[in-house]
Amino acid sequence: MTEKIYAGTPVSCNDEGYLNDLEQWNREVGADIASEENIEMSERHWEVITFLQNQYRNEIPLTIRKVGKSGVVTIKEFYSLFPGGPLKKASRIAGIPKPVSCI
């Protein structure tokens, strides 16, 4: 458990840099984390982030397949918005836990 400064305020993170508490998140915090991932946020990015946060609040487990079928973003676009590991990076920017693929 570490504390990091994002958007000028201390935020509690785990060892992999994921927020421990979504309550400490705001857009500025998200944008700061995004810049660490070399991503510049656009409105399109935020739409995806909002979707992920809503899923998390409703306790719906996230997978790439589910994001692709959501109608919010295609898998292809998801990859182009968050290159590399889209679900891992987007989850970190969204302030929600790292998704773990099942057993």
Nearest partner of 101 among 66, 58, 73, judged by Cα: 66
Per-residue interface string for the shown chain with other proteins, residues 27-66, x marking contact by CB under 8 A = ----------------------------------xxxxxx
| Token digits of residue 53 | 């946060």
Q: How far is the CB of 56 from other proteins (least distance, A)?
A: 9
Among 4, 18, 37, 53, binds other proteins (CB under 8 A): 18
Chain position carrying tokens 């995004």 = 34
Compute the radius of gyration of the chain from its Cα atoms.
Answer: 13
Do the beta carbons of residue 64 and residue 75 sit within 8 Å? yes
- Closest approach of Cβ 45 to other proteins, in Å? 17
Pick the binder of other proteins from 13, 25, 30, 86 (CB under 8 A). Answer: 86
Q: Max Cα separation, the chain? A: 38
Spot the catalytic one: 1, 100, 102, 103: 102
The nearest distance, CB 75 to other proteins, in angstroms, is 5
